[in-house]
Amino acid sequence: SMPTWENFEGETNIDLVIVPAIDGNFDPSLVEMGDFESGFQVLHSLQNYFLLNELLAIGHVMPMVDTEELRATRADFAERFVAPRKFYMVRAANPQALMDEVEKVL
């Protein structure tokens, strides 16, 4: 059977967000992201979660039901999620080099 999605109503213990990028051409780097960049990543993650960037068939994209209220709710969530957390962009040529960079902030 398929897994179910359950809403989590409690407090989360997420205190750090890592945005990884692996490419054989990257020198290892670890950069703390600012508020705008962090909010941008949160919003794009939400869009991916709701499949808003999906092409269902040629000429048919995933429909987006949107209102000003829903947009404000998403913006509020992104702002509240970003505020207490540090976000880092981590780049490296391979997974081991990436994890070596991540270890610096864990």
95 and 58 together in one domain: no
Q: How far is CA 25 from CA 32, 94, 101, in A?
A: 21, 9, 16
pTM: 0.78
Looking at the fold, whether 75 and 46 belong to one and the same domain comes out as: yes
Q: Measure the CA–CA gap between 82 and 76, rounded to whole angstroms.
A: 10
Let me know if residue 1 belongs to a domain: no
> Does any domain span residue 55?
yes
Pair 25, 60 in one domain: no
Query: Which residues are CB-contacts of 102 (< 8 A; sequence separation ≥ 6)?
Result: 18, 20, 30, 88, 90
The reply to whether 3 falls in a domain is: no
- Total structural domains within the chain: 2
Same domain? For 79 and 98 the reply is no
**Domain encompassing residue 91:** 17-33+87-106
pLDDT per residue as tens digits for the range 22-73: 999 999 999 999 999 999 999 998 888 888 878 888 888 877 778 899 889 9
